[in-house]
Amino acid sequence: MNRRYRKTIIAGNWKMNKTASETKKFAEELKAVMPKAKWCEVVVCVPAVNIQTAIKAFKDMRVSVGAENLFYEKSGAYTGEVSGDMLKDLGVKYVIIGHSERRQYFGETDVTVNKKVHAALEAGLHPIICVGESLEQREMGITMELVALQVKAALSGVSAEKVRKCVIAYEPVWAIGTGKTATAEQAAEVCTLIRTTIRHLYGARIARSVTIQYGGSMKPANAAELLAQPDIDGGLIGGAALKSGEFVDIINAANQE
Ligand code: PGA
């Protein structure tokens, strides 16, 4: 991380876990162990139905609430979908876009990811844009080209002013929920490539201001080493973010002065 130029962000991605009552309980547990001063921003991205509960429960803890998805249209006949304005109106700050599970199970593509990035920015939300290669793609040796392409597609048509509001999360698909973490070197190599890609598109000043997270089995045991890499400015954390004790240990790893 490099706090001089950009924010460090530790974000939990709850996926389809926790009811509203469990959300309240988690907030109480976290409050009891949360460090007073924080050098990083803490975010919890929760299922859409838990957003209101989460906003209330985390309000006095300086924990921002994020959504896990949105639809790219502003309103209309899209049964079951949620718009950026609806999220913003509730007090949501961040929204995860293009998570590999959405690409894998819900047909999201680089094109829909780009539309959602525009919709989020238009609504005044900060998109957390997920990119990353599968195991097959890594073994084929195309990780760098693929991730650069995903970043370029996601940011297509996004202005320099708006790209500063975006967070990129590098999440190698083979490391998500598998217990297999990318080594700090593997993660750093791709996160540096992401910053280089942004530099080519928007210039050095903008590139150094963008927060780039690592995600994929980040846990207390490996967080400090990953966060010590200059181009890794935080984490997007699934499993370990569901337990207040583990989540706070990761926050503490990002909180070193
Ligand atoms: P994991 O999930 O930490 O459980 O691997 C990360 C993510 O999918 O964002």
- Best residue for ligand 1 mutational test, from 68, 99, 170, 171 (most atoms within 8 Å of Cβ): 171
Number of compact structural domains in the chain: 1
Q: 80 lies in a domain?
A: no
Can you tell me the distance from the alpha carbon of 79 to that of 161, in angstroms, rounded to the nearest whole number?
33
Q: 208 lies in a domain?
A: yes
- What pLDDT does 153 receive? 98
User: What's the 46 CA to ligand 1 centre distance in angstroms?
Assistant: 13
Ligand 1 atom 1: the closest Cα is on which residue? Answer: 238
Q: 2 lies in a domain?
A: no
Domain span at residue 168? 8-71+86-254
User: What's the 220 CA to ligand 1 centre distance in angstroms?
Assistant: 13
- What pLDDT does 89 receive? 98
User: Which CATH number goes with the domain that contains 156?
Assistant: 3.20.20.70
Catalytic residue (one of 41, 68, 133, 171):
171
Q: How many CA atoms lie within 13 A of 104 on its CB side?
A: 11
Q: 112 lies in a domain?
A: yes
Residues of the chain with pLDDT under 50: none
Q: 3 lies in a domain?
A: no
- What pLDDT does 193 receive? 98
99 catalytic per annotation:
yes
189 catalytic per annotation:
no
Check the CA dihedral 86-110-191-240 and report its sign: positive
User: What's the 216 CA to ligand 1 centre distance in angstroms?
Assistant: 5
- What pLDDT does 36 receive? 82
- What pLDDT does 198 receive? 98
